[in-house]
Amino acid sequence: MRILITGGTGFIGKKLINLLNTQGRFEVFGDKEPIDLTDIQSIRTVLDKVKPDLIVHLAALTFVPNSQPLNFYNVNTLGTENLLKMVIETNVSEMGMLCFSTAGVYGIQQKDLLDETLTPNPINHYAMSKYCMEQVVNKYRKLRNITIVRPFNILGNGQNIDFLVPKIVNCFAKKDSLIELGNLDSIRDFISADDCCDIVCKLISKPLTNDIVNICSGVGHSVYDVFSFLSDISNHQMQIKQDERFMRNDDIPKMIGNPSKLFNVLGEVYNFTPLKDILEKMYIEKLQESLV
């Protein structure tokens, strides 16, 4: 099977390509075939070259506090429309597509565990652009089987330090005496990038269907939990200063996913890596980077 990973040079893309290459069952493309989703000709060139049987669509603009909201829609929504149009026009990816959305589309809900039956309520432009992407995908479901996954908070080495948890890990690795953070009480369902890639590999090893599936563990931790775990892991004490600059008006207090449908699709209960283990690996790898 020939698989194209859009966003193959990104945080998740690199890990997914490495994992798929170890399987010995796939020809994997995307790390040397960059796609500009805003450029139809760029997409056509890659599709004509690779002729993929299946596409994992990861490419997106992801950093929420981006100061130019229009970019989210140009890349995440209209860019996905461009990709889907070219998939049909070039007659590729006949085994279907797996498209990454985000758990952010749920927004603020009344349920403790967020499941796929909930009506999305996105509250920032990144999540809105991804929900719009999901609606674009619906236009093409009669032409291709397209599974949308909604991953919750993915963590791992190589993640942009502008994101919250990598920032905290980096501060502990540097043995800083003070860290400035926003809301410490926000609760998230953290999953490792390795687990996420493993789950994607399992999903595309089965026939894809027109479906929406959470990638989540069902376990929530606060930002303060992250800080406490890293204090234990590093054996380093650091002062926290809450800074209004890092307080977001559109912050969601609690986001924990319901993994029941995921387990049903996989045909098994998935054993997710505990958060403390994820953080310990990130911390050790960050220390090793500083020695290079």
User: How many whole angstroms separate alpha carbon 198 and alpha carbon 102?
Assistant: 17
H-run or E-run covering 28: strand 27-29
Please give the distance of CA 132 from its chain centroid, rounded to a whole number: 17
Catalytically annotated residue among 106, 126, 131, 140:
126
For β-strands 187-188 and 178-181, DSSP reports them as unpaired
* Full strand arrangement of the beta sheet holding 254-255: 221-222, 187-188, 254-255
The answer to whether 123 and 252 are in contact (CB under 8 A) is yes
User: How many whole angstroms separate alpha carbon 154 and alpha carbon 160?
Assistant: 12
Active site residue 126: yes
Give the angle subtended at the CA of 53 by the CAs of 13 and 95, to the nearest 5°: 105
For β-strands 178-181 and 153-155, DSSP reports them as unpaired
Give 28's strand partners. Answer: 3
User: How many whole angstroms separate alpha carbon 37 and alpha carbon 24?
Assistant: 29
In the chain, the N- to C-terminal Cα span, in Å, equals: 38
Residues annotated as catalytic (active site), given as ranges: 126
